[in-house]
Structure 1
Amino acid sequence: MTNMMMTIKEELLRLEKEEHIKIVYACESGSRAWGFPSRDSDYDVRFIYIHPVDWYLSIFEKRDVIERPISDRLDISGWDLRKTLNLFRKSNPPLMEWLGSPIRYLEAHDTAERLRRLSEQAFSPKASIYHYLHMARGNYRTYLQGDSVRIKKYFYVLRPILACEWILKYGAMPPMEFDILVERLVPEDSKLRAIIEELLERKKAGEELDYEPKLAVVNDYIERSLVSLEQSAAQMPPAKTDIDDKLDDLFRSSLREVWM
């Protein structure tokens, strides 16, 4: 176990004691899970937690998020289980990504696995595509305009675009790993694929990838994709799900399993 892994596990245990909670799941959610961290990338730890039963038996609304300031490259925050389940029924893409993260720091009890088994029923292709489109547009507009651009930001536009392409092709939540998206969706013999693989090699080698001349091939692909994906999303029907009873049951059984 690496020193940072031990630090993360110790921090999760400390949070449980300080907040009087039980953490049922914790994972990596950032560039490390995507497969292209920099040498100085933060550890973006996200977790799901549950309070004792009495905490929920109140007439008052209470804070359902726990956050800690970034320190020593550690960015850590989590959601209460009830908040988590309400977001899950809306097919919240960040939450769906957490559940599919390839880097898991903690998984206690069977709450997360039960959510994974329900993911297919909760997943909304239309809502998810709009989420990724919003992310891609924002990053493209902010970082990739002009003749000189922040070259590493191409990953933060390409990944959500490829996530949209995955949803259209497979009708399922895309994997977090950027390598898988590229391998399955970008033609192997294309110039776009060659440029992406070169950027990946440079980033994994630790290059800073700061301001450089824009990559016309990639920009053209991005601009075409944003238009076509918007058109495809607009034509998709909204998802219909009926899992409320199952989520209520999951919430009650998790409370019993963890605290009773």
Structure 2
Amino acid sequence: MHTDTTLLRGAGLPDIDLARILAEEPSPLLFATVSGAHLYGFPSRDSDVDLRGVHVLPAEDLVGLRQPEETRSRMWDHDRVEMDLVTHDLRKFVRLMLKPNGYVLEQLLSPLVVHTTPLHEELAALAPTVLTRHHAHHYRGFAGTQWRLYERTGELKPLLYTFRALLTGIHLMRTGTLVAHLPALVGEVSAPACLPALIEAKADAEHGAAHMVDAAAAARDVAALHAVLDEAQARSRLAEAPSGFDALHDLVVRARLGSLVLPGSGASGAL
């Protein structure tokens, strides 16, 4: 993997030096990518920037008496742009990977790479070893949560998140490939014809109301996609359980031992 500045600009991200922001992190980063609406292909002019990644704690933080910072999170405004940065220690992240957790895999495999290392490439190469039929449960559950949010708020954003989750799950069950970008999914999976117009409408405001949506028709579309996801899961050739535990364990150990000799702190450490 590599950092593609052209791809980052094409995703609608604001003109911010994201790498410089990450360089302020206290521990070396294994990777950092952009998630959220920019990854999903429907950012708004006022969308926040969701940065997600993995930091590597020194071994002493895990074997000593102090509680380790396995998850670090901070939100702030940068030149009137809301920034949201969340990183997990590598061990916690890998444990999440070994669960049917599509969210962390989307972060790992995001093409919107801000910071990368050779171990990031290794970790991404092991992603297929943790994909299972049970990842359908993740996307089914996430879609349900977002649909209820749409029903409560009437906003366009959670409705698009609902469709995106269902289409990602269907595509994953059918192909074994994780695609989080809604415009790309519309071209690969049979999807409601209204989606391109809804994606275009969301560009105006992050929390805009879904005035143009026929709620009854949307409910029928969502129910139909749930049925398609159920069938895709039943027919999927994905494994029943992850197979990459040993290889992932080895990667975590090597990264942890390597962190003992990394210079100083910050995102610039070479893993």
TM range (shorter): 0.7 to 0.9
Q: Cα RMSD between the aligned structures? A: 2.7
Whether the 8 Å contact between 1:149 and 1:214 is mirrored in structure 2 is: no
Residue equivalent to 2:181: 177
The structure with more helix, counted as a fraction of residues: 1
Whether the 8 Å contact between 1:136 and 1:157 is mirrored in structure 2 is: yes
**TM-aligned CA deviation for residue 55 of structure 1:** 1.9
* CA gap 1:10/1:204 in 2 versus in 1, 3 angstroms: same
Residue equivalent to 2:86: 77
Letter matched to residue 21 of structure 2: E
Q: CA offsets, 1:230-256, max 9 Å, x none?
A: 466578797223332212210122234
Instruction: Specify the SS of the correspondent of 1:185.
Output: coil
Residue equivalent to 2:266: none
Is 2:127 the partner of 1:119? yes
**TM-aligned CA deviation for residue 214 of structure 1:** 3.5
Higher mean displacement: 230-239 or 158-167: 230-239
**TM-aligned CA deviation for residue 123 of structure 1:** 0.9
Whether the 8 Å contact between 2:157 and 2:206 is mirrored in structure 1 is: no
Higher RCO, 1 vs 2 (CA within 8 Å, ≥6 residues apart): 2
Is 2:207 the partner of 1:203? no
- Aligned positions, number: 245
Residue equivalent to 1:143: 150
**TM-aligned CA deviation for residue 32 of structure 1:** 0.7
Whether the 8 Å contact between 2:50 and 2:85 is mirrored in structure 1 is: yes
> Distance in 2 between the 1:241 and 1:211 partners?
39
**TM-aligned CA deviation for residue 173 of structure 1:** 4.0
Q: Where in structure 1 are there 5+ consecutive unaligned residues?
A: none
**TM-aligned CA deviation for residue 154 of structure 1:** 2.2
**TM-aligned CA deviation for residue 9 of structure 1:** 2.1
TM-score for both structures, normalised by structure 2 = 0.79
Q: CA offsets, 1:150-199, max 9 Å, x none?
A: 234321110011012112321x2421211111110026xxxx32x11122
Q: Where in structure 2 are there 5+ consecutive unaligned residues?
A: 262-271
> Distance in 2 between the 1:203 and 1:150 partners?
10
**TM-aligned CA deviation for residue 142 of structure 1:** 2.6
Whether the 8 Å contact between 2:156 and 2:209 is mirrored in structure 1 is: yes
Whether the 8 Å contact between 1:96 and 1:119 is mirrored in structure 2 is: yes
Whether the 8 Å contact between 2:33 and 2:107 is mirrored in structure 1 is: yes
> Distance in 1 between the 2:91 and 2:58 partners?
12
Instruction: Specify the SS of the correspondent of 1:40.
Output: coil
Residue equivalent to 2:226: 226
* CA gap 1:207/1:9 in 2 versus in 1, 3 angstroms: closer
Percentage of pairs with the same residue: 22
Which of 154, 160, 164 in structure 2 is aligned with 1:155? 160
> Distance in 1 between the 2:66 and 2:76 partners?
30
> Distance in 1 between the 2:24 and 2:77 partners?
15
Residue equivalent to 1:100: 109
